[in-house]
Chains A and B, each alone.
Chain A
Amino acid sequence: LAKTTQPISMDSYEGQEVNITCSHNNIATNDYITWYQQFPSQGPRFIIQGYKTKVTNEVASLFIPADRKSSTLSLPRVSLSDTAVYYCLVGAGFSGGYNKLIFGAGTRLAVHP
């Protein structure tokens, strides 16, 4: 199984770019990398997903190197409302992959004024 490792916490300031890296050394060929955001007392919410190289959407970018053993979530110009826990999920994109969905322990991001 592709175990994931993330920093426990990070601090930033409003307006800065934040990069959170997730290590997944045992990632398999069929695995996708997905990032979720979670606020207190809420369920996680999808941010972005990728398989290789770079993916960008309206809120974040995801960088995946060629060996796919890590991935970096990039949040441009964070605001106080980006204070949350960010989870990396590695999981296979086929019907036999449901029982292999592994979340990281999460990175607690604190954005300061």
Chain B
Amino acid sequence: IAGITQAPTSQILAAGRRMTLRCTQDMRHNAMYWYRQDLGLGLRLIHYSNTAGTTGKGEVPDGYSVSRANTDDFPLTLASAVPSQTSVYFCASSGGLAGAAEQFFGPGTRLTVL
């Protein structure tokens, strides 16, 4: 059982380039999330989707977009990367409602924007 997979594991990207981080879950969870983790700031929610076909903004959505075409996949796109988007990105999923549900996290993608 894979749970949640993320790709790539790490990436170095030139500023201004477009980048899509991939996330796939095999648990048939309705809700999926994207977080970024920066030193000293913990995890901050970028975007979420509470069911296929719907998405919403989290705490720090600017510069990022997401789509949820099906239950399993939740890609995160940086249309034009900037150095401040250097971070570790975690995808998560949950089967219940928001804060009442256990979230299952992927292994993360380490992104460096130069």
Contact = CB atoms under 8 A, between A and B. Distances in A.
Interface string A75-104: 000000000000101111111111111111
Given A43-B105, A91-B98, A95-B50, A101 B58 contact: yes
Contact of B41 (A42, A93, A105): A105
B33 interface: yes
Q: Which of A89, A101, A102, A103 counts the most chain B CB atoms within 10 A?
A: A101
User: For the side of the interface on B, what is the size category?
Assistant: 20 to 34
User: For the side of the interface on A, what is the size category?
Assistant: 20 to 34
A45 interface: yes
Interface of A: 30-32, 34, 36, 41-46, 49, 87, 89-106
Interface of B: 4, 31, 33, 35, 40-45, 48, 50, 56-59, 90, 92, 96-108
